[in-house]
Amino acid sequence: MQGAVFLLGLLGAMSGREALHLVHLPATSTVAENSPPETPVHKFSVNLSASLSPVIPGWPLIINTSPLTEAFKVNWLSGTDFEVVTTGKEQLDFETGPNIFDLQIYVKDDVGVTDLQILTVQVTDVNEPPQFQGNLAKGLDLYILEGTNPGFIYQVEAFDPEDISRNIPLSYFLIVSSVNFRMSANGTLFSTTEFDFEAGHKSFLLLAGVRDSQGLEASTTLQVNIVNVNDEVPRFTSLVQVYTIAEELASGTIVASVTAEDPDDKGFTSFLLYSITTASRYFVINQLTGTIHVAHRLDRDAGELRQNPSISLEVLVKDRPSGGQENRMQITFIVEDINDNPASCSKTSFSIMVPERAAKGTLLLDLNKFCFDDDSKAPNNQFNFTTPSGVGSSGRFSQDPAGSGKIVLVGDLDYENSSNLAAGNKYTVIVQVQDVALPYYKNNIYIYIFTKPEDEFPLAFDRPSYVFEVSELRPARTRVGLVHATDQDFPQSRVVYSISTGGASLQYPNIFWINPQTGELQLVTRADYEMTPIYILRIQATNDEDSSSVTVTVNILEENDEKPVCMPDSYFLAIPVDLKVGTNIQNFKLTCTDLDSSPRSFRYSMGPGNINSHFTFSPSAGSNVTSLLLATRFDYASGLDKIWDYKLLVYVTDDNLLSGRKKAQAHIETGTVTLSISVIPHPTTTVTATPGPRVIYQVLRKNVYSPSAWYVPFVITLGSILLLGLLGSLFVLLAKAIHRHCLHKTGKHRKLPVKKGEMKDTKPEVLVETIHMNSVFDGEAIDPVTGAVYEFNSNTGARKWKDPSTQMPTWKELGPQGAAPYRARPPRSTGEQHGLSSKAPAEDNPVPETRMTSPAPQRAETQPSQSYLPPNCTQESKGFLGAGPTSQHRGGELSVPGRLPLPNSHVGRGESNRGENMG
């Protein structure tokens, strides 16, 4: 008890404290534009809630900003003190950016207590110095061609951030003056001298400044670079102009070196180009280094050098390939005469093609026809040939006679010989032609001998014929088999395969295709055993020399690839709803055939649509003829069946029992048949309970719903909802009207028990209760049976007959067989009060009940009477003779106030109107 009191006191003390909230918020703070990161904006603190729960780490934080920005964040200072600072992620610019920001600062503690406040931050304007634009702000490199006349170089531009419209002029100047440059007040940079790169004018560093109207300045650097221009002529530095060289120098020998320099080249990465302008086949010059090389043999004893041994050349030097500066220089070469005439040949290499079946001793080449010596005197002009040598030439080639230069065949050049194949059927023979005098000059002669293959062997297949098998189920591109043809001749040329004849069917011109490179035979389309079981093809193989053909037999393996076909494949049937189970529906039968399966393998099954399994086939398997039977009866009365139109999909499956295969390994095919069955309901008749004629019309409407007509159920559903709503509102209005006029609910009538078949002859006993009460009659009604007018009390139900003089004319009713009309007997006394009392008033005023029996066994004919509803009363208020709300029927007894005996025929009338509340 004391603990509870303490807890209530603690809660009361805690409830007196304030909840978690932000102190010094909401507020408005200012921050200068262009403030650096971590600039303080506003300090605030957090007042903890009554629970003293600490603030969640990382809170408070800015959750929303208007406008959106990331320029601010919240920093923790100490304890519960915090500060809003700038982040530096976005530049705060008074002139171009938003000036006012609304920051939503949100805080939350460990127990979930939160607070949200607004901090308004205003950006203040700060006078900023002018700024240079673009790359100019970082410094700019300018380039001027040397030799350019003094004048305009560049237009410097800056802007003042405070002057958004840029209407206030800025003042430009050079911070450090220069004798070579000047700058106008509007920022135009001029040169005052003509620059010469070779004189040392290469680059200048200028510092340009700008000043606004308030004296704030900014500066940037301008690096002015002088571009070297090719304006100087190259100068030769080599002084030698006459060179003496020996003849027979090797090609590429350097015989002279010409050098030059370009004044424009100092300190600049460029080069000079050298060339020989004089036509000369003896020398070439390196265009980059200027070295002159021997390009052709210098023969002092031949050609123009025999008469004039000096060669003059003009060397041209240029500082660029075209459009540059150039200079020329003349040099002369004198060729000295030496003993340099060895034996030589007009051709030093020969290629000979020799057939592989050439006979031994065949002359292949006579070198004497191609070799000579230009020396004028013997023995300098005499020479001979050495023994042939070289890889593969040993034992195959020789000279006959020795040293004569006549190369003959002495070995075997069979192309298919393994040793010749190892040598590649290519042989290199080297023969030297040698001077017989000192210094015994030698020249090599290269003879390349190739063996020419000849067609010695025919092209033949590896088999005399081929037999392949392929299933008729195999798809296109299936490999049928492989043929291969070879030729023993080397080198083996590419063999091309083709189908010359065969392989056609009635539907396709070509069933097979052969790969022309590999010889693989493939299917172009599926083969059909039933159409053609065997194909005989003629395959042809060709190469560069021969061709050959072979017979290929392709046996098509029989498979179950045909679906059962049934007649009819679609049919419409109509059956009565009461058709007996087991009946053959309209004697309908299916007759099925299959090209590759026996009727014994047929199976029949129902697919979708056979709802409640009403239909079946007999026999269901083992026959090609089957009948459609009704398997189960239709039951629409209980709601089991709801569909009147059936769409059956019948599957006809063959089990492929051919060739004795196991059923688990068999391939099966399935055909389909579509049956439309409409169930016809039997006609419905209704017998009326009244003796008079009544015509009952039965309208059968059939709604065939299509899945595509989605709007039909939608419209029906919408209309039903609207109709239900309308009926509900009408019922509510009707109930309100009845409630206003009928204040008391009467007891319901109990029908008199009548045995079957005794409705017209039964004369029920009447229980008469006499209740004396004084009533005020506040209503008036007409008896629907007699037509008499009576008054009634709406509260107690008491009634009395009115004066006959004020009665309305009585109405007549004819009996079922045209009987005489019955006229209601007027009441004995109009002054008596009559009424039917309920049980409750009877208990308040107990009176003896008098059971009365009709004095005469008079037969009353039942006649249909109209159901009458007295004014301001509900259907529940109806009773015999238009009784008030308290009249009751009790097991054949009728309680009637007063002493008036009622005729039995009245009771019969009330009982005959079943379901109409004895009206």
What strands lie across the sheet with 397-399, from one edge to the other?
363-366, 406-409, 397-399
pLDDT bin (cut points 50, 70, 90) of residue 19 is confident
Residue 403 has pLDDT above 90, yes or no: no
Quick: pLDDT tens for 622-638: 788 899 888 888 888 88
Q: How far apart are the first and last CA of the chain?
A: 75
**CA 393/CA 190 separation, integer angstroms:** 84
Residues 587, 593, 597, 598, CA torsion sign? positive
pLDDT bin (cut points 50, 70, 90) of residue 894 is very low
Residues 110, 115, 118: CA angle, nearest 5 degrees: 140
Predicted pLDDT at 27: 92
Q: What percent of the chain has pLDDT over 70?
A: 75
**CA 177/CA 190 separation, integer angstroms:** 12
**CA 55/CA 114 separation, integer angstroms:** 9
**CA 31/CA 125 separation, integer angstroms:** 9
Specify whether the CB–CB gap between 400 and 414 falls below 8 A: no
Q: Among 25-29, 523-527, 663-667, where is mean pLDDT lowest?
A: 663-667
Residues 194, 197, 199, 203, CA torsion sign? positive
Quick: pLDDT tens for 520-571: 999 999 888 888 889 999 999 998 888 999 999 999 988 777 788 898 888 8
SS3 readout for 490-528: CCCCCCEEEEEECCCCCCCCCCEEECCCCCEEEECCCCC
Query: 728's torsion region: left (phi>0), alpha (psi -120 to 50) or beta?
Result: alpha
Look over the chain and give the mean of its residue pLDDT values, rounded to a whole number.
75
Bond from prior residue into 379 cis (ω within 30 degrees of 0): yes
Quick: pLDDT tens for 318-329: 887 777 788 999
Predicted pLDDT at 242: 92
Quick: pLDDT tens for 703-720: 555 555 677 788 899 999
Token couple for 687: 């017998």
DSSP string, 815-855: -TT-PPPP-PPPPS-SSS-EE---HHHHHHS---EEEE--S
Most confident of 258-267, 352-361, 682-691, 806-815: 352-361
pLDDT bin (cut points 50, 70, 90) of residue 165 is low
Beta bridge partners of 539: 499, 550
Specify whether the CB–CB gap between 106 and 56 falls below 8 A: no
Specify whether the CB–CB gap between 234 and 260 falls below 8 A: yes
Who wins on pLDDT, 255 or 658?
A: 255
At which residue do the structure tokens 């007040």 appear? 185
In our burial notation (b when 16+ CB lie closer than 10 A, e otherwise), range 358-379 reads: eeeeeebbebeebbebebeeee
pLDDT bin (cut points 50, 70, 90) of residue 262 is confident
Q: For residue 401, give every residue at least 6 positions away whose Cβ sits within 8 Å of its Cβ, in sequence order, or none.
A: none
Residue 868: what residue type?
A: Y
Cα 95 to Cα 31, 122, 126, 134: the distances in Å are 14, 13, 10, 19
Q: Among 19-23, 414-418, 622-626, where is mean pLDDT lowest?
A: 414-418
In our burial notation (b when 16+ CB lie closer than 10 A, e otherwise), range 429-456 reads: bebbbebebeeebebebebebebebeee
Predicted pLDDT at 35: 86
Taking the CA of residue 77 as centre, how many other CA atoms within 13 Å lie in the half-sphere pointing to its CB? 13
Most confident of 94-98, 461-465, 793-797, 892-896: 461-465
Predicted pLDDT at 910: 37
What the chain holds in terms of domains, given with CATH numbers, is 20-124 (2.60.40.60), 131-227 (2.60.40.60), 235-336 (2.60.40.60), 344-449 (2.60.40.60), 460-557 (2.60.40.60), 565-680 (2.60.40.60)
By CB atoms closer than 10 A (0-12, 13-18, 19+), residue 7 is: exposed
DSSP string, 309-361: -EEEEEEEEESSSSSS-EEEEEEEEEEEP-S---EEES-SEEEEEEETTPPTT
DSSP state at residue 55 = B
Residue 313 has pLDDT above 70, yes or no: yes
Q: For residue 406, give every residue at least 6 positions away whose Cβ sits within 8 Å of its Cβ, in sequence order, or none.
A: 363, 365, 366, 367, 368, 399, 400
By CB atoms closer than 10 A (0-12, 13-18, 19+), residue 856 is: exposed
**CA 634/CA 246 separation, integer angstroms:** 127
Task: Give the residue from 830, 853, 707 showing the smallest Cα distance to 777.
Answer: 830
Which parts of 564-715 are beta strand (E)?
565-567, 570-576, 584-593, 602-606, 615-618, 625-630, 645-654, 669-680
Task: Give the residue from 853, 783, 796, 790 showing the smallest Cα distance to 824.
Answer: 783
Residue 908 has pLDDT above 70, yes or no: no
Token couple for 42: 């506003």
**CA 862/CA 908 separation, integer angstroms:** 6
Mean pLDDT of 824-837: 38
Strands 242-246 and 326-336, bridge-based pairing:
parallel
At which residue do the structure tokens 């086939």 appear? 617
Predicted pLDDT at 366: 85
**CA 450/CA 396 separation, integer angstroms:** 12
Token couple for 685: 């008749």
Task: Give the residue from 897, 790, 915, 813 showing the smallest Cα distance to 860.
Answer: 813
Most confident of 42-46, 394-398, 805-809: 42-46
Bond from prior residue into 439 cis (ω within 30 degrees of 0): yes
Predicted pLDDT at 706: 56
Task: Give the residue from 368, 312, 309, 307 showing the smallest Cα distance to 335.
Answer: 309
Residues 274, 279, 280, 281, CA torsion sign? positive
Q: Among 208-222, 403-417, 859-873, where is mean pLDDT lowest?
A: 859-873
**CA 350/CA 361 separation, integer angstroms:** 19
Residue 337 has pLDDT above 80, yes or no: no
Residue 919 has pLDDT above 50, yes or no: no
Quick: pLDDT tens for 49-82: 877 888 888 889 899 888 999 889 999 888 889 9
Predicted pLDDT at 531: 86
